[in-house]
Protein backbone atom coordinates (compact mmCIF):
# COMPACT_ATOMS: atom_id res chain seq x y z
CA UNK A 1 0.00 0.00 0.00
CA UNK A 2 1.14 3.50 -0.76
CA UNK A 3 1.06 6.85 1.04
CA UNK A 4 -1.93 8.97 -0.04
CA UNK A 5 0.16 12.16 -0.12
CA UNK A 6 3.62 11.27 -1.47
CA UNK A 7 2.88 7.83 -2.93
CA UNK A 8 5.85 6.09 -1.29
CA UNK A 9 5.52 2.43 -0.33
CA UNK A 10 4.47 1.88 3.30
CA UNK A 11 4.96 -1.13 5.56
CA UNK A 12 1.84 -2.86 6.85
CA UNK A 13 1.18 -1.47 10.32
CA UNK A 14 2.76 1.95 9.68
CA UNK A 15 0.52 4.58 11.29
CA UNK A 16 2.32 7.49 9.66
CA UNK A 17 4.29 7.78 6.40
CA UNK A 18 8.04 7.54 7.05
CA UNK A 19 8.80 10.02 4.27
CA UNK A 20 6.26 12.82 4.65
CA UNK A 21 4.46 12.12 7.95
CA UNK A 22 1.03 11.87 6.31
CA UNK A 23 -1.67 10.03 8.29
CA UNK A 24 -3.65 8.76 5.32
CA UNK A 25 -6.96 6.90 5.49
CA UNK A 26 -5.41 3.91 3.73
CA UNK A 27 -2.58 3.92 6.26
CA UNK A 28 -4.93 3.96 9.25
CA UNK A 29 -7.67 1.61 8.05
CA UNK A 30 -5.58 -1.51 7.49
CA UNK A 31 -3.86 -1.89 10.91
CA UNK A 32 -7.21 -1.51 12.76
CA UNK A 33 -8.77 -4.30 10.72
CA UNK A 34 -5.74 -6.51 11.41
CA UNK A 35 -5.90 -5.71 15.14
CA UNK A 36 -9.60 -6.68 15.31
CA UNK A 37 -9.01 -9.95 13.45
CA UNK A 38 -6.11 -11.01 15.68
CA UNK A 39 -6.89 -9.84 19.21
CA UNK A 40 -10.61 -10.46 19.64
CA UNK A 41 -10.52 -14.26 19.07
CA UNK A 42 -7.74 -14.93 21.58
CA UNK A 43 -9.42 -12.69 24.17
CA UNK A 44 -12.87 -14.20 23.51
CA UNK A 45 -11.41 -17.72 23.65
CA UNK A 46 -9.69 -16.82 26.93
CA UNK A 47 -12.96 -15.57 28.47
CA UNK A 48 -15.00 -18.54 27.16
CA UNK A 49 -12.23 -20.90 28.29
CA UNK A 50 -12.16 -19.37 31.78
CA UNK A 51 -15.94 -19.80 32.16
CA UNK A 52 -15.78 -23.40 30.95
CA UNK A 53 -12.73 -24.09 33.15
CA UNK A 54 -15.09 -23.68 36.13
CA UNK A 55 -18.05 -25.51 34.60
CA UNK A 56 -16.74 -28.07 32.09
CA UNK A 57 -12.92 -28.39 32.12
CA UNK A 58 -12.90 -30.78 29.13
CA UNK A 59 -14.58 -28.13 26.94
CA UNK A 60 -12.23 -25.45 28.27
CA UNK A 61 -8.99 -27.14 27.11
CA UNK A 62 -9.43 -26.68 23.32
CA UNK A 63 -10.62 -23.05 23.79
CA UNK A 64 -7.74 -22.18 26.09
CA UNK A 65 -5.08 -23.94 24.02
CA UNK A 66 -6.20 -22.26 20.76
CA UNK A 67 -6.47 -18.92 22.59
CA UNK A 68 -3.00 -19.40 24.06
CA UNK A 69 -1.48 -20.26 20.66
CA UNK A 70 -3.15 -17.22 19.05
CA UNK A 71 -2.01 -14.95 21.88
CA UNK A 72 1.57 -16.26 21.78
CA UNK A 73 1.73 -15.87 17.97
CA UNK A 74 0.54 -12.25 18.11
CA UNK A 75 1.99 -11.20 21.47
CA UNK A 76 3.23 -7.67 22.05
CA UNK A 77 0.08 -5.69 22.89
CA UNK A 78 -1.85 -5.31 26.15
CA UNK A 79 -4.86 -7.22 24.77
CA UNK A 80 -2.85 -10.25 23.74
CA UNK A 81 -0.95 -10.15 27.05
CA UNK A 82 -4.31 -10.11 28.86
CA UNK A 83 -5.50 -13.03 26.70
CA UNK A 84 -2.23 -14.89 27.35
CA UNK A 85 -2.48 -14.46 31.14
CA UNK A 86 -6.19 -15.37 31.14
CA UNK A 87 -5.52 -18.52 29.08
CA UNK A 88 -2.77 -19.61 31.49
CA UNK A 89 -5.03 -18.95 34.51
CA UNK A 90 -7.88 -20.76 32.73
CA UNK A 91 -5.66 -23.77 32.04
CA UNK A 92 -4.56 -23.92 35.69
CA UNK A 93 -8.21 -23.65 36.83
CA UNK A 94 -9.24 -26.33 34.31
CA UNK A 95 -6.44 -28.69 35.44
CA UNK A 96 -7.28 -28.15 39.15
CA UNK A 97 -11.00 -28.54 38.43
CA UNK A 98 -10.57 -31.77 36.45
CA UNK A 99 -8.13 -33.11 39.10
CA UNK A 100 -10.71 -32.32 41.81
CA UNK A 101 -13.38 -33.94 39.69
CA UNK A 102 -11.23 -37.06 39.28
CA UNK A 103 -10.52 -37.14 43.05
CA UNK A 104 -14.22 -36.80 43.82
CA UNK A 105 -15.05 -39.56 41.35
CA UNK A 106 -12.42 -41.82 42.95
CA UNK A 107 -13.68 -40.93 46.46
CA UNK A 108 -17.24 -41.70 45.40
CA UNK A 109 -16.19 -45.01 43.85
CA UNK A 110 -14.32 -45.94 47.03
CA UNK A 111 -17.35 -44.95 49.10
CA UNK A 112 -19.66 -47.07 46.92
CA UNK A 113 -17.12 -49.92 47.00
CA UNK A 114 -16.73 -49.85 50.82
CA UNK A 115 -20.48 -49.52 51.29
CA UNK A 116 -21.07 -52.59 49.14
CA UNK A 117 -18.55 -54.60 51.23
CA UNK A 118 -20.02 -53.62 54.59
Binding residues (CB under 5 A) for Zn ion: these are: 3, 5-6, 17, 19-20, 22
* Least Å from the CB of residue 5 to Zn ion: 5
Q: Judged by CB, which is closer to Zn ion: 3, or 71?
A: 3
Q: Judged by CB, which is closer to Zn ion: 5, or 79?
A: 5
Q: Judged by CB, which is closer to Zn ion: 7, or 62?
A: 7
Taking the CA atoms of the chain, what radius of gyration do you get in angstroms? 24
Q: How many CB atoms lie within 10 A of CB 2?
A: 13
Residues 23/15, Cβ–Cβ less than 8 Å = yes
Cβ neighbours for 28, distance < 8 A, ≥ 6 positions apart: 15
* Least Å from the CB of residue 82 to Zn ion: 34
Cα–Cα distance between 63 and 51 in angstroms, integer?
Answer: 10
Residues 6/24, Cβ–Cβ less than 8 Å = no
* Least Å from the CB of residue 19 to Zn ion: 5
* Least Å from the CB of residue 34 to Zn ion: 20
Q: Judged by CB, which is closer to Zn ion: 6, or 88?
A: 6
Amino acid sequence: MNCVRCGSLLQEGDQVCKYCGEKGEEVNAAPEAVVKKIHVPSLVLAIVGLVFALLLPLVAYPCLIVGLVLAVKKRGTHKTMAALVMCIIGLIVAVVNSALGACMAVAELMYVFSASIL
